[in-house]
Structure 1
Amino acid sequence: MRILLFLLFFLISSLSFAQKTFWASKVVAFSSEYSDALTTKENRAIQVLGRPNKLPQIGMSACAWQPLTQNNPQEEFIIVSFDTLMSIQQVAVAENYGQGCVVRVEAFDEFDNLKLLWANKSAPTGEVGKMLNIVLQKPTPFKVRSIKVVLNTNRIKGWSQIDAIGISQATTPIKATINLAKNLPTELVKENLGKSVNSEYREIAPVISPDGKTLYYTRWKHPDNLGKDKNQDIWYSELQGDKKWGAAVLFPAPINNNEHNAICAISPDGKTILLNNVYLPDGTMAKGVSMSTKSSKGWDFPKALNIKNFKNKSDYAEYSFSPNGRVLILTGQFKETQGGKDVYLSFLQADNTWSEPQDAGSVINTAEDESTPFIAADGKTLYYSTRGLSGFGSNDIFMSRRLDDTWLKWSEPENLGPIINTPEWDGYFSISALGDYAFFSSQENAIGEEDIFKFKVPESIKPDAVVQITGGVYNYSDKKPISASINVQSMTDKDTVCVTYDPQTGDYKLMLPAKKSYTISASKKGFMSISEPLDFTKETNFKEIKKNIYLYPIEAGQRITLNSVFFEQSKYEILPSSYPELDRIVSLMRENPTMEIMLEGHTDNQGDWNANLLLSKQRVDEVKKYLASKNINMSRIQTQGYGSTRPVSSNNSEEKRKLNRRVEFMIIKN
C-alpha cells in the first residue's frame, strides 16, 4: 500500500512539474539594450526576466527588453537561462510590441551546444503583440541550459519588445495571466459617492479616516478652490446619520493655500495629517512632505519632515505612513530605483529625522512608475497603483502584504480585479480601519473628469483585523483628565505606538493589529507610569474598546499593582516581557532621586502556605536585583513577601487567582 501511495504521489508531482512554466531567471548575453540619459533600468535586458509584466495586454512597456535601435538590418538576440535543467517541449516568447520580429529560437544543451528549435518562415501578421508559443513535436533529446531568441527588427517598422521568455514540458500553450486576488466576487459593486462629494470637476486622492466617518480628498481646478489659478485643494465630507455623505467642505487654512494641496494620510486618532509638499513661510511650496497636528486652536502650520538625502528626480511623489507613525511609505525616483518612480521606505530616527529612502524591492516595484501607496491600519497590507504588472488598463490597483519587520519583504502583488480596475488610470485606494468599505479614484462612469467611488471590501483583499482603543488619561486622586503621553508595546515583537493625549482635543485613539498582546501605559512628569496588559490574541474581527488610564501622583503612601511584571510558573525568575515595566520604575526613581519604595509580593492560595510565602519574597528580591542592576541604590528599595495572606480577590477561579498573584509597588518616601 505504501508503495502504491508513493507511486501515486510521484506521478502527481511529476505531472505538476511537467506542466509548470519556468520563466527566465538570468540574462546570459544580449546584442544590445535600450538606454538613454533619462532612464535607469527601463527596457534593459533584465526586463525580460520573470513572468510577463505586460501581456495579456499589448503595447509598449518599460518592463520589456528593447534593443537599442529600431529597424536594425543586423540581427539582435538575447540569451537567458532558467532555474532548472530539463528536457522541454515548449518555448513561449511574450512579444508585447512589434510582434513578428522573432526569426529563430535556439537552445543550448548542458554541454553548451547550440540547437535550432524553431525558425520563422511566415510573413508578419500585422498584430501588435501576442504570446508566441513554440510547441515541439516531441521533447528535446537533451536538457536545456538556456534559450536564445533571435530578432530581425527590420521585419516590423518601429520598436520591438520582448516581455518574457518561458519554457515547459507541457504541450498546452503557455498563456500570460493576471495575478488576480483570490476569491473575488463576481458581483462586486462600485458606487459613485454622488454630487455631495463629486462634481463636474476632478476629484482624486481620497483618504478615509480610520473610523470611516470623514472622507478627505482633493479637488482640481474647482471654482471654489483658493487662488486665482484654482489649483488643487483639500476638501472633506462627513458621514451623516442616514449613512450618506454630507456636502463637501473646503479644508481651512493654513492647510489649503494658493498652491497645490493634497492630504496623503491621517493618523489613527484623526489628529495628525500627512500633506504633500513642504509649506514655506512665503506661501510657496517645495518638494517633500509635511505634517500638521490638530490642537484646541485648530490645525497648526504644516512642518516639513526632515528626510535624509531626499533628492527626488521625479516631479511627483505620494506618501502614506504606518499606523504607529514610525514608517513613511513614499513614491519617488532616487539613486536606487527599479526604473521610474518606485515605492520607498523611510524610518523615523531617534532624533525625529527620517532615514534615507530605501527601495521596497523588485517584488513591489517595476520599471514603470508606481504611485499612490496606502498602508492599511494593520500596518501590513499595502495597496498601490502601477502599470508595471499585468492588468486591465493603464494603471491598476494592486495589493501586497508585508512579510517581516524589515518592511523590505512583500508578497507577490495581487490585482484587485476588473470591476475595480478599468481600462483607464486607477489609483488612490484607501480603506478604513473597520475594513468594510474602500474608496478610490476612477474615470469610469464619473460625473465629471474623475470621481471618488467606494465598494464593500471582500474578505480576500481586506487588511488584517485591528482593535480600536479610545479613552482618556486621568489623575487617580481627583479623577480629572490630564494631558499625557501614551505608549503601547507589543508583547510579540518590537512594535511600539506612541501618541499624545490632550483633554481639550478629545479622547486618544489607537488602532492595534488583532491576534497579538500588548501593554499600554501613560506617562507624565510628577506621576507614576504603570502599564496594563491588553490581550487581543483571540480577536479576529474589528473591535472597539474603551480604555481609560489612571496615573498616580508621586506621593508617599501611594500603592500600585505592577500588572506587567511576570514570572515563570511557581518560579521567581523574571520573564523578559517584564523589563519595559521595570524600566519605567528605573526612570521614575532616576527622576526622583530621593524616592524610596517598598516592593510587596503576593501569591494565590494554591499549594503549600510556607512555599508561597517564600516564593513571594524571592520574587520581589529578584525585582530589587533588577533595579539595582540599573544603578538604583539598593538602600532605596525595601521588600516584603506576604504569600497568600493578602488577597484582593477570591481564589475560587483561575481568573480571580490571577489577580492575587501580583507584585505591588508603594512609595515610602518621595
Structure 2
Amino acid sequence: MRQFALVIVLLCSLFNLPAQSVQWASKVLTFSSEYTDPLLGKEYRALHILGRPSKYPKFAASPSAWQSLTPDNPGGEFIIVSFDTAKVIKQVAIFENFGAGSITRVDALDENNRLFLLKEFPNGYALANGQLTRVRLASPTPFKVKSIKITLNSMRVQGYSQIDAIAISDVDTPIEDRIKLEVDPNAYLVKENLGTAINSKFNEICPVVSPDGKKLYFTRWKHPDNLGANKNQDIWVANLNDKQQWDKASLFPSPINNDENNAVCGISPNGKTMLLNNVYGKDGQMEKGVSLSFLLRTGEWSFPKPIRIQNFKNKSEYSEYTLAPNGKVLLMTTETKDSYGGKDIYVSFLKADDTWTEPKNIGSSVNTGESESTPFIAPDGQTMYFSSSGHVGYGNNDIFLTRRLDDSWLNWSVPENVGPVVNTNQWDGYFTVSAKGDFAYFSSVENSMGAEDIYRIKIPDKVKPQTLVQVSGQVINQLSKLPVASKILVRSRASADTMQIDYDPYLGDFSFMWPSKKPFYLEIKSKGFLMKRVNLDFRDQISFSESKQIIGLTPLELNKQFKVPNLNFAQSKSEISKESFASLDEIVSILQDNEGLNVLIEGHTDNQGDWDENLKLSNERVEQVKGYLIKQGIESSRIQAKGWGGTKLLSTSTAEEKRRLNRRVEFSFYVK
C-alpha cells in the first residue's frame, strides 16, 4: 500500500479531460459482511450501495443501503466497489444514510488494482447521524481510478452504520448538484382536485381512465354505498360530459363488484378488456391474484376470468397489476425471498396455452430495498409510472417514471421523479395517464376532502409517454361491403412489438393505440378470404391523432387468378426476397386449412428481351415459389407451376410503370 502525493498533472492530461461526468458505483467487488435475515429478501445487502442514493437529501435508515452484519465489529468493516469506466477523478461522494461517522479511510484502486490513500477521517468527523461525506482532492489523481475502497471502524458509532451510494467525479462541481430535486412548483401546472363528483371524505384511489378519456374508474373504501356489511373496496365509474366535466360517480354493477375488495387495474386500448385485482370465486369469495373481464355484446361485463401465473408467490398482503397494451405482458408487484426489499415489480408473459410465465424481477434499476407499488404501463407500451420510497424523493412515497429500453422488459431507464406538484411530503401513488397524453390522474392526501382524493394535472412534457395514434375501423368483404370477422396482427416494422386483435363486427369497430413514431403494418386474416397487408406510418404526427381504416378483404374463389401481393424479385433474378415470405405464408395457411384445395402458380414477365430467356426466367421463379411451399410442408402433388414468359401481357405500353405490371406471379386454387 502506498500513499500518493497530490501533484499537478501534465497540461496535456488536463486538456484531454472529458467534460464533467458523475459515475455511480456499478459493481460490488468485495466486502467484509452484509446484513441478512431469513425472513427478508435482499434488504440491507451490499448490492444496495450501487447506483444513485435512495434517501438524499432526507437521510434516514433504509433497507435500500449497505449495512454490515453486526452493529459493532471490533475487527472493522470494508467494501470495495468499481465503476463502469476508469477515470481520473477530483472528488468522491459517500452518502452515509445512518450512523454516520464510522469511516476511517477512503482509498482508490487504479487499473492494476494498486491501492492509493485518498483521505483518512478522524473520529468525530460526522456532523449528523446521516450526511453526505466528501473527499475533495487538491488536484486530479495522476492515474485512472477503477475502484474505491471504504474502510470503517464500526466501534466509533454505537449501533449500525449504513452507506447508501458512492460516486466519483472529475471536477469540483458538487456531485449532489446532479441529483437535486426540483424545488419550484411553478415548473409544472397546478394539480386539480376532481371535486365532489368524484371525491368524498372517504378514500378514493386507483384511478383508471378509459382509452377514449370519457370514463373514469376508481376505487372507494368504506363508502356507505359500497356493497356488503364491511363496506370493503368497490369500483366506481364516472362519465365525462359535453362540458368536459365529470358527472357524479356511480357504483359499478355486479359481478365486478361484490362484498369483497374490488379494484380496476387497467383497461385495454380498445376498451373491451378490464384487468381486475383478485381472483373471483363463484361463491363470491376472493383469492389473491388478478382477473380479466370482457365487454359483452349486451354492453355488460363478463364474470371475471382468472389469470393463471406459474409459480406465483407473494409474501405481502397486497399486490398491484398493470397489463401492457398488447395484452401479452403483465407487470405486477409482489414480494418473494428474491425481492430486493419489500414488494418489487415483476414481469410475466402470456403463453400459447393461455397461462402466464413465472414472474421475473425487472431489476435493480427500478426495484430497491424498499417497496415499489402501483405500477402503470402507459398506452405507449414503453413508459411505466410507479410509486416508491427507494429513490430520491420529496416524501414518504413518490411517483417516478422509467422507460423500457428493449423487448426483454428487464432493462429500464434510471427512474425520474415526476415532480413537486404531483409528489408531496406524504404518500403519493396510483399515477395513470390518458391515451391522448393530455392528463395524468393520481391519488394524494395533500389538501384532500378527507382521506385520499383523486387529482389530475396536464402532463408535463418531461414525463409524457410517447405520442399515440388511435387506429380504428372495420374489416369488410370487398365485394359485398359487409363486415367480416377477422384477426388483425399489428406488427412494428422496426422492433419485435406486436399486438393481436380479434375483430368481431357485433362488438363495433376494432380499435387500438400505437406509438406514432413507430411505423407498423397490419396483417388481416379471415377464413375464406385472402390475407391483406396494410402499411401505416404516422411519424409526422406530433400530438395524439385518430385514423379510421376501412379494410376490404377479397373473397377466396376457386379457379380465379390472384396476384401474389408483395412478391418481388430482383431484375432478371429468380430468388425470392425475404419481404415476400409473409405473402407466401398466407398461401401456405390457406392450403393447410383446406386439405381439399390445390394451387396453380403461374409466372409472367414483360416482353422485353429474348423470348426464350423470359420463358426460362418465369419458370425458374414459379419453381422457387413451389419449392418454398414444399419447404413449409405442402405436398408437391398439390402444387402446379407454369411459366408463361411474356405471352400473357396485362399492358402493351412501353412505359416502365406500365411494363412493370406484366412482371408478376399469380395463383389460383382448384379442386381435383
Pick the TM interval, shorter chain.
0.7 to 0.9
Matching residue of 1:192: 193
Structural mapping, 1:44-443, within 5 Å: 44-70=45-71, 72=72, 74=74, 76-83=76-83, 89-99=90-100, 101-107=101-107, 115=117, 117-122=119-124, 125=127, 127-136=128-137, 146-152=148-154, 155=157, 159-175=160-176, 177-178=178-179, 186-297=187-298, 298-443=300-445
Which of 393-402 and 272-281 deviates more?
A: 393-402
Per-residue CA distance 1:113-156 (angstroms, 9 max, x = gap): 6748233354764x342212233555668876532232446646
133 and 516 in structure 1: CA distance in 2 versus 1, 3 angstrom threshold: closer
Secondary structure of the 1:522 match is: strand
Q: TM-score, normalization: structure 1?
A: 0.87
* Equivalent AA in structure 1 for residue 51 of structure 2: G
Secondary structure of the 1:295 match is: coil
Q: Give the distance between the partners of 1:435 and 1:559, measured in 2 at CA.
A: 47
Q: Give the distance between the partners of 1:291 and 1:458, measured in 2 at CA.
A: 32
Work out whether residues 55 and 393 of structure 2, in 8 Å CA contact, stay in contact via their aligned partners in 1.
Answer: yes
Secondary structure of the 1:175 match is: helix
Secondary structure of the 2:17 match is: helix
* Equivalent AA in structure 1 for residue 295 of structure 2: K
* Equivalent AA in structure 1 for residue 332 of structure 2: L
Which of 30-39 and 397-406 deviates more?
A: 30-39
Q: Cα RMSD between the aligned structures?
A: 3.5
Per-residue CA distance 1:335-373 (angstroms, 9 max, x = gap): 432222111111111211111101111112111111111
Q: Give the distance between the partners of 2:514 and 2:617, measured in 1 at CA.
A: 35
Which one of the candidate residues 542, 545, 552 is aligned to 1:543? Answer: 545
Q: Give the distance between the partners of 1:28 and 1:588, measured in 2 at CA.
A: 58
The answer to whether 1:646 aligns with 2:647 is: no
Q: Give the distance between the partners of 1:219 and 1:69, measured in 2 at CA.
A: 45
Q: Give the distance between the partners of 1:452 and 1:570, measured in 2 at CA.
A: 66
Matching residue of 1:3: none
Structural mapping, 1:455-466, within 5 Å: 455-466=457-468
Which one of the candidate residues 618, 633, 644 is aligned to 2:636? Answer: 633
Work out whether residues 329 and 345 of structure 1, in 8 Å CA contact, stay in contact via their aligned partners in 2.
Answer: yes
Work out whether residues 109 and 142 of structure 1, in 8 Å CA contact, stay in contact via their aligned partners in 2.
Answer: no
* Equivalent AA in structure 2 for residue 574 of structure 1: I
Matching residue of 2:4: none
176 and 150 in structure 1: CA distance in 2 versus 1, 3 angstrom threshold: farther
Work out whether residues 331 and 346 of structure 2, in 8 Å CA contact, stay in contact via their aligned partners in 1.
Answer: yes
* Shift, 1:570, TM fit: 6.3
Per-residue CA distance 1:525-578 (angstroms, 9 max, x = gap): 4x1241222231634433322223334444425555544434446644322233
Q: Give the distance between the partners of 2:118 and 2:663, measured in 1 at CA.
A: 79
Secondary structure of the 2:592 match is: helix
Which one of the candidate residues 447, 451, 454 is aligned to 1:449? Answer: 451
* Shift, 1:260, TM fit: 0.8
Q: Give the distance between the partners of 2:418 and 2:199, measured in 1 at CA.
A: 23
212 and 641 in structure 1: CA distance in 2 versus 1, 3 angstrom threshold: farther
Report the count of equivalent residues: 653
Secondary structure of the 2:579 match is: helix
* Equivalent AA in structure 2 for residue 14 of structure 1: L
Work out whether residues 517 and 539 of structure 2, in 8 Å CA contact, stay in contact via their aligned partners in 1.
Answer: yes
123 and 491 in structure 1: CA distance in 2 versus 1, 3 angstrom threshold: closer
Q: TM-score, normalization: structure 2?
A: 0.87
* Shift, 1:505, TM fit: 1.7
* Shift, 1:390, TM fit: 1.0
Work out whether residues 532 and 553 of structure 2, in 8 Å CA contact, stay in contact via their aligned partners in 1.
Answer: no
Work out whether residues 86 and 143 of structure 1, in 8 Å CA contact, stay in contact via their aligned partners in 2.
Answer: yes
Work out whether residues 32 and 79 of structure 2, in 8 Å CA contact, stay in contact via their aligned partners in 1.
Answer: no
665 and 139 in structure 1: CA distance in 2 versus 1, 3 angstrom threshold: closer
Matching residue of 1:590: 592
The answer to whether 1:14 aligns with 2:17 is: yes
* Equivalent AA in structure 2 for residue 546 of structure 1: K
Work out whether residues 55 and 176 of structure 1, in 8 Å CA contact, stay in contact via their aligned partners in 2.
Answer: no
Q: Give the distance between the partners of 1:143 and 1:519, measured in 2 at CA.
A: 50
Work out whether residues 622 and 641 of structure 2, in 8 Å CA contact, stay in contact via their aligned partners in 1.
Answer: no
Work out whether residues 604 and 651 of structure 1, in 8 Å CA contact, stay in contact via their aligned partners in 2.
Answer: no
Q: Give the distance between the partners of 1:387 and 1:180, measured in 2 at CA.
A: 14
Work out whether residues 188 and 419 of structure 1, in 8 Å CA contact, stay in contact via their aligned partners in 2.
Answer: yes
Q: Give the distance between the partners of 1:572 and 1:593, measured in 2 at CA.
A: 28
Matching residue of 1:495: 497
Q: Give the distance between the partners of 2:86 and 2:103, measured in 1 at CA.
A: 24
Secondary structure of the 1:472 match is: strand
* Equivalent AA in structure 2 for residue 252 of structure 1: P
* Equivalent AA in structure 2 for residue 286 of structure 1: E
Work out whether residues 628 and 634 of structure 1, in 8 Å CA contact, stay in contact via their aligned partners in 2.
Answer: no
Matching residue of 2:5: none
Secondary structure of the 1:583 match is: helix
* Equivalent AA in structure 2 for residue 426 of structure 1: D
Structural mapping, 1:470-481, within 5 Å: 470-481=472-483
Secondary structure of the 1:299 match is: coil
519 and 569 in structure 1: CA distance in 2 versus 1, 3 angstrom threshold: farther
Per-residue CA distance 1:411-465 (angstroms, 9 max, x = gap): 2222212222221222212122222222222222323311222222233322223
